[in-house]
Amino acid sequence: MPDTIPADSVGIVTPNIAVFETPLALSSKQTLEQYELIYETYGKLNAKATNAILICHALSGDHHAAGYHSMDDKKPGWWDSAIGPGKPIDTSKFFVVCLNNLGGCCGSTGPTSLNPKTNKEWGADFPIVTVTDWVESQARLADYLHINTWAAVIGGSLGGMQVLEWSIRFPDRIKNAVIIASAPKLSTQNIAFNEVARQSISRDPDFHDGHYTANNTIPVNGLGLARMLGHITYLSDDSMGKKFGRKMRHDDYQYNYGIDFEVESYLRYQGEAFTKRFDANTYRLMTKALDYFDPASATNGDLSKALSSAQCDFLLVSFTTDWRFSPARSEEIVDALVRAGKHVSYAKIDSNKGHDAFLFPIPRYMSALNGFLNRAHNILIQESN
């Protein structure tokens, strides 16, 4: 917990809830009659509402991107290192919005919400939502906030996919797109890992076909396993090696299937901690949203063609040791944008932190983000004069 709020923090923040009564038609052909989105904002919206930035979260993220909910918080929001006054996503210049996506488990309508038709928790009956659905719901949140055009939409990993979708779906509502450690679609291996994670959850007898709450239980074993596996794919071989190597818990091997290596203990802890803050149905839903994302499928696999309608400027960022979404995956997007004649900047950042690097304030990365957004801010100042 902070003794005092740091000067470059957005400070104490309070989440807001927006209620939407207009039915939302989903990619699945199902319809959500009503839903709520929880979101936070940092900074001030200017008079013409031209300085708003949308932050899109990744698989296990939420709306709490920066600042503290109270002085008792042990940690600030998940991207506090990048968001604040004077930080790359500068809240003295921009009005920053971050929401928990539909289907999430942190306050927006999702599997842990009540299904109004049954007055019971949705559980596994909550419809699978897609990146397209999210972007649609985010556009409605923009309307609700009287923001016609985002100065920038920014996201890492699954968040980057939402940014890409924004640039295609609402070309006149986004000025700048920042796509970090992302991919234009999952590889076969990515899908395979997701499937193992989903199977880990659904094979847990405590899963009860997704209606575990009604059975007064939680599939902690399966969800923990899914997170352990996910965690390995977020880290690089190198960073795991540097952090744990073959460090042992005891002086010698135990020969009993208990914990021999520190990394085993770490993974078990990470898995267990995750089950206390995250919902298993939401986890499955998020992996399906990842699997389903493939904007180029509408243009016979031609990503450049899919991006032809985009009007914004792009910044792509990748990290050298990211093997979940390697630099080559970002470069697919860069190449497609170049072929489509779009403005695109690209920074491949040296880091040993694997996919997780996008959450760290690596100087060259922060500097690229800062430079790109400064330029965006200068342009909007010029346009307002």
Q: Which residues are annotated as a binding site for substrate?
A: 227, 356
From 38, 154, 225, 357, residue interacting with its own copies (rule: CB under 8 A): 225
Question: Does 157 participate in catalysis according to the annotation?
Answer: yes
Known catalytic residue: 81?
Answer: no
Phi, psi of 97 (to 5 degrees): -120, 130
Catalytic choice (62, 133, 279, 322): 322
* CA 282/CA 124 separation, integer angstroms: 9
Q: Which residue in 69, 211, 288, 339 binds its own copies (CB under 8 A)?
A: 288
- The secondary structure of residue 55, as a DSSP letter, is E
* Contact with its own copies (CB under 8 A) among 267, 306, 336, 349: 267
Segment near its own copies (CB under 8 A), from 38-46, 47-55, 143-151, 196-204?
Answer: 196-204
Residue 31 within binding range of its own copies, rule CB under 8 A: no
CA distances from 356 to 231, 240, 327, 335, 359 (A): 9, 12, 13, 24, 6
Query: Interface with its own copies includes 263 (CB under 8 A)?
Result: yes
- Interface with its own copies, residue 305, by CB under 8 A: no
Alpha carbon distance 248, 346 (integer Å): 41
Q: Work out which of 240, 338, 366, 379 binds its own copies, going by CB under 8 A.
A: 240
Per the annotation, the verdict on 309 as an active-site residue is: no
Which amino acid makes up residue 50?
A: T
Listing DSSP states for 344-381 in one string gives EEEEEE--SSGGGGGGS--HHHHHHHHHHHHHHHHHHH
Rg for the chain, CA atoms, rounded: 21
Cross-sheet strand order for the sheet of 35-42: 16-20, 35-42, 95-99, 52-56, 152-156, 176-180, 313-319, 344-349
Active site residues: 157, 322, 355
Binding site for its own copies (CB under 8 A): 27-30, 124, 127-128, 185-189, 191-193, 195-196, 198-200, 202-205, 221-222, 224-225, 228-229, 232, 235, 237, 240-241, 243-246, 253, 255-257, 260-261, 263-264, 267-268, 271, 284, 288, 291-292, 294, 323
